[in-house]
Amino acid sequence: MFGVSAMAVQNALVQVSLKGSPATAVVTTNLTRLMMDLGEMLLGHDPIATARARERAKHTWPAIAGFAIGCGLGAACEAAAGLWSLALPTGLALIALFAPPSGRRLSP
């Protein structure tokens, strides 16, 4: 937990003091941003900043929930099947790598 706390502090310092600098850890950055936004929503006095924090949190929490669920499922599969649990994600990655493009374009 000390390592997680250290990464969270480091990412918070990057976001607060070095605005516009690139993130150093994506999941840690998302979690840090969510916690900072929750703090702003709970303790903030500026309604505009609180609204912005609420909007960012609305977009950030699904990524964090998905990561946590994926970690739990990965741990359960590894406990049940050992290293064979890597066969499913590896197979899906290979299918995605060699699958032809769908022809659909994503709008920006």
- Domain with 6 in it: 2-98
Would 77 be classed as within a structural domain?
Answer: yes
Q: Greatest CA span in the chain, whole angstroms?
A: 52
Cα separation of 20 and 30, whole Å? 15
Number of domains, the chain: 1
Q: Is residue 13 part of a domain?
A: yes
Banded pLDDT at 84 (limits 50, 70, 90): very high
Q: Taking the model in full, what pTM does it have? A: 0.60
Distance CA 100, CA 104 (A): 11
Mean pLDDT of 59-84: 91
Q: Is the pLDDT of residue 86 over 70?
A: yes
DSSP state of 19: T
Alpha helices by DSSP H, listed for 18-46, are 26-43
Indicate whether 106 belongs to any domain.
Answer: no
- Distance in angstroms (rounded) separating the CA atoms of residues 14 and 28: 12
